[in-house]
Structures are given as structure tokens and as C-alpha cells.
Amino acid sequence: MNLALFDLDNTLLSCDSDYEWTQFLIGKGAVDAVTFAAKNDRFYAQYLAGTLDIGEFLDFQLRPLASHPRRRLDAWHREFMAGRILPAIGGKARALVRRHLDGGDLCALVTATNSFVTGPISLEFGIANMIATVPAQENGQFNGQVRGAPSFREGKVARVEAWLEAMGFWWSSFGRTWFYSDSHNDLPLLSKVSDPVAVDPDGALLAHAREAGWTVLSLRE
């Protein structure tokens, strides 16, 4: 059996679901437009630059989830999926995931974005296993906190390894292991697999992939 891991934002998606969710909330009038738009742009720039403080970002990103009833959030997410996410899923991304699923590979989405935003997206791709940052809940209502370690940078490696161990697996349990990502922030996990793949990579990841001889591909239409 083989293992296939997929990053989501700007990898399987041609957008960043974290960023788009906040922009969607701004459009709904659910958050202060001026404050949240500026912070959303600032955090996204820091992520691209590799300087993001994940704790500070999650405090910003999870706060709106605690400010609205779950039923309203779920309804908004269905609208978000239809208007912003489905148009960002290309045929090449769907085909890549389907090839691994049809080949019998153990597949998982591995993303720093929180599981409320990304859970339905993972299921849209047919990926049942997801490793994401988990927003904590109390009696079904989000409280603005994080449950466990964020799935970010080295945290992705730790979370994947904990997931594998829980099933009695380890990296050596698989003939081949893939991780597909666009970001230099994912170098820790890309360096763990036998087949790292840079997908529409940022400049830093492209340079590293070329030097290391990694596969580089595009999923854009």
C-alpha cells in the first residue's frame, strides 16, 4: 500500500480557502470590513513570506466562528462552497486525487486551514481522511480556541505521524509516500516523503525543488 498526502490551498485549490473564507464573511457583513480586510491581507502576506505567527493568526481566524450560531455558519459555508470553492477546483486536481484513490492508496488532506472550512472541501474531493487545525467546540458551538496542535509547518509532520501511529502505521509501512504542496512552509513534510511534489510552487519551493530534483507539476487549467 502507498500513502498520498495533499495540501489544499493553492495546491488542490486555485485559491486559499482561509483567505477566501474571511473575504466571504466580510461580504456577508459578519465581521468589520475595514479591520478584517487589512488583517487578512497582512496575515496572508506573512504566510507567503514564511513569517506567519500561527497563534496570532488563529486568534484572528477562529474568532468569527465563536461569534455566530453553528446553524448560521453551516448555511454560510454551503454558500461559500458554491460561490468560491467549487469554481476553484479544476479537473486536473480532481483527476490527481482520483488516480490515487483508484490505485488503492491511503489518502489524506493535510492543511493548516481549520477543519470547519476544509472538511466539506475534503469530502468534495472524495478524501475521507483529513488532518487540519481543529477549532475547539463547547456543546457544538465554537469557542475561538484551538484543539491540540495546529497543522502548520513542523506541526503537519507531527499530526501526520500521530495519525499514522493511531492506525498502527509508520512511514516505512508504505511502498511509496507522496506529498503534494505549493508552499515552502511545507518543506518539513515534503522532506519526509519518498515522492515530494511541488505543485504550482511559490518561488522558494520551486528553487528548492529544482535543486533537490523533486517533481514539479501544475494543476491549473
**What pLDDT does residue 48 have?**
86
CA distances from 171 to 40, 55, 199 (A): 36, 29, 22
Sequence-separated (6 or more) residues with CB below 8 Å from residue 24: 76, 79, 80, 83, 84
Closest CA to 120 of 85, 157, 162: 85
User: pLDDT tens digits for 79-93?
Assistant: 999 999 999 999 999
The yes-or-no answer on residue 9 being catalytic is yes
**What pLDDT does residue 161 have?**
98
Q: What does pTM read for this prediction?
A: 0.96
Residues of the chain with pLDDT under 70: none
Q: Indicate the residue type of 8.
A: L
* CATH value at residue 139: 3.40.50.1000
Say how many domains are in the chain. 1
The yes-or-no answer on residue 7 being catalytic is yes
Q: Which domain holds residue 105?
A: 3-217
| Rounded Cα–Cα distance for residues 9 and 31 (Å) | 22
Exactly one of 7, 16, 182, 202 is catalytic; name it: 7
